[in-house]
Amino acid sequence: MTLLVQVTAPDPNLALILKVLPALVVILITSAICGRLALMVMQPRVLGEMVAGVLLGPTLFGWLFPEVQAALFPPEVRPILYVLSTIGLTLYMFLVGAGIDHSAQSGEMRRASALAASGILPSLLLGFGSGLLLYDLLSRPDVSPFQFALFLGGALSLTAFPMLARILYERGLEHSRVGRLTLLAASIDDALAWCILAVLSAMHLGAGAAGALPTIGLTALFAIVMLKVVAPLLRPMGRTVARTGKLGATGMYVVILIPLTAGWLTDWIGVYAVFGGFFAGLAMPRDPAFRQILHGRMMEVVSTLLLPTFFTFSGLNTQLGGIAGGTMLLAFALILAAGFCGKYFGCSLAMRAIGFGWRESYAVGALMNARGLMILIFINIGLAQGMITQELFAMLVLVAVITTAGALPLYKLALPERLERVRKAETSVELPREEQVARSNSG
Name the residue type at position 264: W
Q: Please give the residue range of the domain that contains residue 161.
A: 74-442
DSSP state of 285: -
Task: List CB contacts of 372: < 8 A, sequence separation 6 or more.
Answer: 44, 46, 47, 50, 160, 162, 163, 400, 403, 404
SS3 string, 363-402, reads HHHHHHHCCHHHHHHHHHHHHHCCCCCHHHHHHHHHHHHH
Helical residues (DSSP H) of 206-325, grouped into ranges: 209-225, 231-244, 249-269, 273-282, 288-301, 307-316
**Cα–Cα distance, 56 to 62 (Å, whole number):** 7
- 299 inside domain: yes
* pTM confidence score: 0.76
**Cα–Cα distance, 397 to 375 (Å, whole number):** 8
Question: What is the count of structural domains for the chain?
Answer: 1
- 126 inside domain: yes
**pLDDT tens, residue order, the chain (443 aa):** 444 444 444 688 888 888 899 999 999 999 999 999 988 988 878 888 888 988 998 888 888 888 998 899 998 998 999 899 889 888 988 887 887 765 555 566 788 888 888 888 999 999 999 999 999 999 888 888 998 999 999 899 888 776 777 677 666 666 677 777 887 788 777 777 777 777 777 777 665 555 567 777 888 898 899 989 999 999 999 888 888 888 888 889 999 999 999 999 988 887 778 778 888 988 999 888 888 888 888 888 888 888 899 889 888 888 877 777 788 999 999 999 999 999 999 999 988 888 888 888 898 898 888 887 778 888 888 888 888 898 899 899 899 889 888 888 888 888 887 777 666 555 444 444 444 434 333 33
- 319 inside domain: yes
Task: List CB contacts of 117: < 8 A, sequence separation 6 or more.
Answer: 350
- 44 inside domain: no
- 356 inside domain: yes
- 111 inside domain: yes
- 7 inside domain: no
3-state helix, strand, coil in the chain (%, to 5): 80, 0, 20
**Cα–Cα distance, 239 to 348 (Å, whole number):** 39
**Looking at residue 103, which CATH number applies to its domain?**
1.20.1530.20
Closest-CA residue to 131 (of 119, 120, 143): 143
- 26 inside domain: no
